């Protein structure tokens, strides 16, 4: 970008500058001439400049007015580029027209908004072909975690319910300016057309998972007692003395679907 921009802490800004990492991300995206891309939080344009011109259309969502102004100048004559100077958490993705092959989403997501943003995107996942994100390594590990691990929780279950998850490669703190205190990683999410364990009511599933993990040290029969009793758990073949982190996604779906049936 033409002007020097100081990273703003309130936006969680850390700008990618390592050319080798940028190359690896572009290779992972592998943009095609017919692709409709959405970039979230482009920062100083490290990826933007490599994506623009190599796809059908690039939509960029940037909250920072100064950075947005620079993009407006740079791409003023480009009909294949659209800038949205808004808070992505408030952005209505359903305003995009549906595409046969779906949009491809790319972003370096700040830690302070990563989880709410992921859930925001899951709510309109049918629009997307795939999503490739740079996230704090801890968050990526949580998204990929399996039952029984310390990282396993609500984010693991709901990410894996909505998407096929692929951890690609780590990104060292030295790849950014200013340098963050944490390591990062690249993850690819491909929304399922049909989840492996379909929930009758995905919002109810999320509620069950949230309730179970809100008191993760308690047994299920205690943490879920506001929703069901241990007899119902037993009838589903689930031991009520187990804890939230031991249940698989399929078992949570079983509980959710049973509750949904009972509410009808």
Domains and CATH numbers, the chain: 9-191 (3.40.50.150), 202-263 (1.10.8.100)
The backbone region for 95, taken as left when phi is positive above 0, alpha when psi lies in -120 to 50, beta otherwise, is alpha
Residue 55: the pLDDT is 96
> In this predicted structure, what is the pLDDT of residue 95?
95
Confidence (pLDDT) at 155: 97
Check residue 51 and give its pLDDT: 95
Q: H or E segment at 211?
A: helix 202-214
For 161, the enclosing helix (H) or strand (E) is helix 154-162
In this prediction, residue 13 carries a pLDDT of 52
Q: Rounded to an integer, what distance in angstroms lies between the CA atom of residue 164 and that of residue 160?
A: 6
Nearby residues of 130 by Cβ (< 8 Å), 6 or more positions away: 102, 104, 105, 188, 189, 190, 191
Instruction: State the pLDDT at residue 33.
Output: 95
Instruction: Please give the chain's pLDDT, 264 residues, in tens.
Output: 444 444 444 444 577 888 999 999 999 999 999 999 999 999 888 899 999 989 999 999 999 898 899 999 999 999 999 999 999 999 999 999 999 999 999 998 888 899 999 999 999 999 999 999 999 999 999 999 999 999 999 999 999 999 999 999 999 989 887 787 889 999 999 999 999 999 999 999 999 999 999 988 899 999 999 999 889 999 999 999 999 999 999 999 999 999 999 887
Q: Which residue has the tokens 């690896």?
A: 24
pTM over cut 0.75: yes
């Amino acid at each position: 970008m033409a002007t020097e921009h100081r990273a703003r802490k309130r936006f969680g800004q850390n700008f990618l500058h390592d050319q080798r990492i940028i190359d690896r991300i572009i290779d992972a995206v592998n943009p095609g001439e017919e692709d409709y891309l959405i970039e979230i939080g482009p920062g100083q344009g490290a990826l933007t400049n490599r994506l623009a011109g190599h796809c059908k259309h690039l939509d960029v969502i940037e909250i920072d007015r100064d950075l947005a102004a620079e993009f407006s100048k740079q791409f003023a004559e480009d009909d294949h580029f659209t800038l949205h100077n808004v808070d992505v958490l408030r952005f209505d993705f359903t305003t995009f027209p549906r595409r046969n092959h779906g949009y491809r989403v790319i972003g370096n997501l700040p830690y302070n908004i990563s989880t709410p943003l992921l859930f925001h995107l899951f709510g309109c996942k049918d629009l997307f072909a795939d999503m490739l994100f740079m996230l704090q390594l801890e968050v990526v590990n949580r998204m990929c975690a399996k039952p029984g691990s310390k990282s396993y929780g609500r984010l693991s279950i709901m990410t894996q319910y909505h998407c096929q998850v692929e951890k690609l490669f780590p990104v060292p703190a030295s790849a950014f300016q200013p340098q963050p205190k944490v390591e990062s990683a690249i993850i690819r999410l491909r929304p399922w057309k049909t989840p492996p364990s379909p929930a009758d009511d995905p919002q109810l599933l999320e509620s069950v998972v949230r309730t179970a993990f809100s008191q993760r040290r308690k047994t299920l029969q205690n943490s879920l007692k506001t929703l069901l009793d241990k007899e119902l758990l037993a009838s589903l073949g689930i031991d009520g003395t187990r804890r939230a982190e031991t249940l698989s996604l399929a078992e949570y779906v079983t509980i959710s679907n049973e509750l949904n049936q009972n509410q009808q």
